[in-house]
């Protein structure tokens, strides 16, 4: 049985590529400044987007320039916060916090865009949120004994949640009238222009680090491309739940490449997140079937 709608399948691909890109951000951040990593990611993004635009024959600047520019600024802020949190927190913990944004997205989509969720969809998101809570284990729910995480890293991750939620809604609106490559172009332009202004020193990368930086740019941009395609055809509140799978992928990469062994809480929370995503996909399939029958 096919549990995922086409938009969710695009999101799943994007989530996988983003998680792999996050691993390379973590590796690069062991010596290179965050703004430097961000700058290289932006340059590679501009290059890839221009190639896609040239092949498609689409205009470079799009139709809704003000909203596209706002999307670019949101993308710069969210991406910097993402990278900072990934560098300064364990990979799985950083992604747990960063990808707790579906609840914020659902609330904003309901308030601003009139999107609705079925009971099954709401139960699925709640299941994923419980999984996030099990992995993160905040003190106000579980008492003392929670992981000792970098305060600025936590604040950066929470800032990312806020900025990413607004960026997702902007993508959802823009994807209806703009090509994915156009929507993707503005954040790397903003990143390339603004990151040097906020940089606090630069470090000359080694040959190995250049390869790691290239991987950051490639995988992060592939993730953005598939996520943008997904948002073009799926409700923002529902599809954003699929992105929580990046927590599971991040835990896998942390264990395989960084020696970060997840505990039973992380495994149990990750399992709940996977169940929640599958339930969300099943709810989406049923809603699409009802829409077709009513048409």
User: Is residue 264, in this structure, part of any structural domain at all?
Assistant: yes
pLDDT of 112-161, one tens digit each?
A: 777 666 777 778 778 877 877 777 666 656 665 555 667 788 789 889 98
**Residue 198: CB partners within 8 Å, gap ≥ 6?**
35, 80
User: Is residue 221, in this structure, part of any structural domain at all?
Assistant: yes
pLDDT band at 1 (very low <50, low <70, confident <90, very high): very low
Per-residue confidence (pLDDT) for residue 236, from 0 to 100: 63
Percentage of the chain lying above the pLDDT 70 cut: 83
User: Is residue 164, in this structure, part of any structural domain at all?
Assistant: yes
- Structural domain containing residue 103: 6-294
Per-residue confidence (pLDDT) for residue 227, from 0 to 100: 83
User: Is residue 14, in this structure, part of any structural domain at all?
Assistant: yes
DSSP assignments along the chain, one per residue: ---S-HHHHHHHHHHHHHHHHHHHHHHHTTTS-HHHHHHHHHHHHHHHHHHHHHHHT--SS-S-HHHHHHHHHHHHHHHHHHHHHHHHS-HHHHHHHHTTTHHHHHHHIIIII-----HHHHHHHHHHHHHHHHHH--HHHH-S------HHHHHHHHHHHHHHHHHHHHHHHHTTTS-HHHHHHHHHHHHHHHHHHH-----PPPHHHHHHHHHHHHHHHHHHHHHHHHHHHS-HHHHGGGGGHHHHHHHHHHHHHS-----HHHHHHHHHHHHHHHHHHHHHHHHHHHHHHH-
User: Is residue 139, in this structure, part of any structural domain at all?
Assistant: yes
User: Is residue 60, in this structure, part of any structural domain at all?
Assistant: yes
How many alpha carbons lie under 13 Å from residue 275 in its C-beta half-sphere?
13
User: What distance in Å separates the CA atoms of residue 68 and residue 65, rounded to the nearest whole number?
Assistant: 5
User: Is residue 1, in this structure, part of any structural domain at all?
Assistant: no
User: What distance in Å separates the CA atoms of residue 143 and residue 93, rounded to the nearest whole number?
Assistant: 18
**In the chain, how many domains are there?**
1
Nearest to 57 by CA among 183, 175, 187, 181: 181
Instruction: Please provide the size of the chain in residues.
Output: 295
Quote the tokens at residue 277. Answer: 């995503």
pLDDT of 209-246, one tens digit each?
A: 999 999 999 999 888 888 878 877 777 656 766 777 78
pLDDT band at 267 (very low <50, low <70, confident <90, very high): confident
């Amino acid at each position: 049985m096919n549990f995922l709608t086409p938009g969710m399948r695009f999101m799943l691909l994007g989530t996988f590529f983003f998680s792999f890109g996050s691993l390379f951000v973590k590796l690069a951040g062991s010596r290179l400044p965050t703004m430097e990593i961000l700058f290289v990611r932006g340059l590679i993004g501009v290059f890839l987007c221009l190639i896609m635009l040239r092949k498609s024959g689409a205009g470079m600047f799009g139709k809704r320039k003000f909203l596209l520019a706002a999307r670019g600024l949101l993308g710069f802020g969210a991406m910097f916060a993402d990278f900072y949190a990934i560098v300064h927190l364990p990979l799985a913990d950083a992604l747990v916090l960063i990808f707790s944004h579906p609840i914020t997205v659902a609330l904003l989509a309901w308030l601003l865009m009139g999107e609705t969720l079925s009971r099954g969809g709401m139960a699925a998101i709640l299941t994923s949120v419980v999984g996030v809570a099990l992995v993160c284990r905040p003190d106000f729910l579980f008492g003392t004994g929670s992981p000792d995480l970098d305060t600025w890293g936590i604040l950066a991750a929470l800032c990312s949640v806020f900025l990413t939620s607004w960026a997702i809604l902007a993508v959802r609106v823009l994807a209806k009238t703009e090509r994915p490559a156009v929507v993707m172009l503005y954040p790397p332009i903003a990143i390339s222009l603004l990151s040097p202004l906020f940089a606090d020193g630069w470090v000359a990368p080694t040959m190995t680090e250049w390869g790691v930086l290239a991987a950051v740019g490639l995988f992060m941009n592939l993730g953005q491309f598939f996520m943008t395609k997904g948002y073009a055809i799926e409700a923002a509140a529902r599809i954003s739940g699929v992105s929580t799978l990046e927590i599971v992928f991040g835990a896998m990469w942390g264990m395989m490449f960084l020696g970060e062994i997840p505990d039973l809480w992380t495994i149990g929370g990750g399992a709940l997140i996977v169940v929640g995503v599958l339930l969300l996909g099943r709810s989406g399939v049923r809603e699409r079937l009802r829409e077709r029958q009513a048409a």
